[in-house]
Structure 1
Amino acid sequence: MFKKLLASIGVGGARVDTQLDNPRLYPGELLRGRVVVHGGGADQDIEKIELVLMVEAEQESGDHEARGALPLGAVRVAERFTIRAGESRELPFQINLPAETPINALAHYGRPLPVWIHTDLAIDAARDASDRDLLEILPPPPVAALLSAFDQLGWALSSTDVEVGTARVGNVVSTLGCYQEFELRPRGGNFRLQEIELTFIPHGSDTHVLIEVDARFGSDSYQALVMGADFASRDWAVELRQRLPL
């Protein structure tokens, strides 16, 4: 009885360990792994095990921006069961990441963008145990191609962050309750322009891009373009030079 009481308040209770097979992957790909539950000093009832895809996002509050963890989706790995004292149970899983999952496997000078899997082990009559496993989300080929084209034109990726809210490019709207912005700065400075911001929204086989050009003097300007299935055959450096006052 004493062991059950201790386990109910989190002392010597069940532990959870999420093991990812492929933590470095692209948006839209399948994340595979297993959740291993280790029983403690007494039998315990587990109400559920959920995996939650999380990202650090910014939200405006008055004149300030606050950063916090934002859930992008959840998957139930197990329903209610009992883990026996000293028992280990392995629960395999597969999760399709959303196509709009924020990208963080990028070289830039800004602060890192955490994207992770949060494991929620809900224990009956006890505090929840949790586990956090970081992901590296690679830039899809269209994103990498456009960033490379800007780099050729002297614009380097400075930072990237995720904003709470909705982005729109033409008739295409983001769907996760947040959107990612890529901030580019000119190498060596630029007399007319100080920053370019990019937002990518995948939609079917196309990638829609909103380009915001921040001018040093005068008003900012916006451009929208679509990178279709033929994106790899197009010279984006040439097209950007034609479209933008670079």
Structure 2
Amino acid sequence: MAFRKFLGALGKRAPGVETVVENPGVHPGGTVECTVTVQGGGADVDIERLRLDLVVRAEDREADGSTAWRRPYSVTAVDLSGFRLAAGETVTHKVALRVPWEMPLTHGRGRPVRGGRAAVRTELAVDKAVDKGDFDEIAVHALPAQDAILQAFEDLGFRLHESEVKLGALSRAPHMRARQTERFWQEIDFFFPESWGQGRQELETVFIAREDSLDVHPGGHPPVTFDYADPDPHAWTATLDQHVRAYWRAG
């Protein structure tokens, strides 16, 4: 993005800020590398806070149920110490935002996942006034194991519909035996194959990823776990089919 004047109410003192996301395509478990440049305005100011958030659209925070994100949810953030910014001075910071393993996806198998949105948000505070700034959207691509499971669903005749980010803990349903570590989860909805006789019912599925394995929760039921060390697409598809059929009878 180009330099944007933050806190226009400061008049000629208002600083300009430019955030450049160096790697706008990331995976869960990685980092988003950013360069933030702050340019002084026409007078010295005290920057009280410069903050970068990795944010996602969370359905529970959008009262109208739209795909907008008027109230984005911060997944992780980096706060930089305040500093004195002289008139016309340029200050540059390198910032790395950790992408959690359970990060909601925006892309799977190289294609956008409907409802999935993520961005870097820059926030500047001067004289107790806060400017949230603009969003720099990023793409969060599925891990190889997640792509393999998405492909397995497709091979079994399921069709990916959309995704939603929910806030809270899956462990509220103890039978799910969730190994969730974050305070959010992504629900990915699939249409059942016509041959299963489920009509327009959707299979609401949750992925809980870790460094070494992936839990797949189908429709609020206990998970089946796939280890990254044993990536056998045919075996994974058969395991997924067997697990889902344990809770839904096809035809």
Q: Would you call these one fold, judging by a TM-score over 0.5?
A: yes
CA distance in 1, matches of 2:148, 2:229: 12
Q: Give the drift of 1:234.
A: 4.7
Q: Give the drift of 1:175.
A: 2.7
RMSD over aligned CA atoms reads 2.7
CA distance in 2, matches of 1:109, 1:201: 17
Kindly provide the amino acid, as one letter, of the partner of residue 185 in structure 1. Answer: F
Cα gap change, 1:61 to 1:22, in 2 (>3 Å): closer
Listed one character per residue, the Cα deviations across residues 30-72 of structure 1 (whole Å, up to 9, x for unaligned) are 211211101111111101211111111122899x868631111
- Looking at secondary structure, tell me which structure has more strand per residue: 1
Please tell me whether residue 69 in structure 1 is matched to residue 86 in structure 2.
no
Cα gap change, 1:226 to 1:133, in 2 (>3 Å): same
Cα gap change, 1:209 to 1:127, in 2 (>3 Å): closer
Q: Give the drift of 1:237.
A: 2.1
CA distance in 1, matches of 2:61, 2:98: 30
TM-score normalized with structure 2 length: 0.80
Cα gap change, 1:8 to 1:242, in 2 (>3 Å): closer
Q: Give the drift of 1:231.
A: 4.0
Please tell me whether residue 138 in structure 1 is matched to residue 145 in structure 2.
no
The aligned runs of 1:107-186 (5 Å cut-off) are 107=111, 110=114, 112-128=115-131, 130-168=133-171, 170-186=176-192
Listed one character per residue, the Cα deviations across residues 107-153 of structure 1 (whole Å, up to 9, x for unaligned) are 4684x322111111111254435232111000111111111011011
1:35 equivalent in structure 2 = 36
CA distance in 2, matches of 1:39, 1:154: 57
Kindly provide the amino acid, as one letter, of the partner of residue 59 in structure 2. Answer: E
Q: Give the drift of 1:170.
A: 4.8
2:51 equivalent in structure 1 = 50
Q: Give the drift of 1:242.
A: 2.7
Cα gap change, 1:145 to 1:157, in 2 (>3 Å): same
Is the CA contact 1:10–1:126 (under 8 Å) kept in the aligned structure 2? no
Higher Cα radius of gyration: 1
Q: Percent sequence identity over matched residues?
A: 26
Count of aligned pairs between the two proteins: 229
- Looking at secondary structure, tell me which structure has more helix per residue: 2
2:4 equivalent in structure 1 = none
Please tell me whether residue 199 in structure 1 is matched to residue 200 in structure 2.
no
Listed one character per residue, the Cα deviations across residues 93-113 of structure 1 (whole Å, up to 9, x for unaligned) are 122211111101244684x32
Unpaired segments ≥5 residues, structure 2 = 1-6
